[in-house]
Amino acid sequence: MTISPEETKIICIGEQDAALILKEDDTVDLIIPEITTEYVPDHILMMAAMAHALSVPALCDQIRDAFLEATQKRGISPAANNDEV
């Protein structure tokens, strides 16, 4: 997949921010600050946990199902047609 300059987005994050970017072509980009102590900040730990979950199909299914259940309780159906694809 080729991304044109018009489709490219610039994301500004801080030096200690972490990012998990899910791309349309099913690849994942991780941006993780360097950790130089034994303490890992919660936001980095959570991002790492989410990245790990992406590699475990059962966890992906649980996350998706929990999300769909929560949104349906609110009357929102963001992925109503996804099961048909």
Stretch (H or E) spanning 58: helix 57-73
Does 76 have pLDDT greater than 80?
no
Does 36 have pLDDT greater than 60?
yes
Q: What is the pTM of this model?
A: 0.66
- Band of the pLDDT at 85, cuts 50, 70, 90? very low
Per-residue pLDDT, averaged over 57-73, amounts to 90
Higher model confidence: residue 50 or residue 75? Answer: 50
Tell me, what's the pLDDT at 24? Answer: 86
What are the DSSP calls for 71-82, one per residue? HHHTT--TTTTG
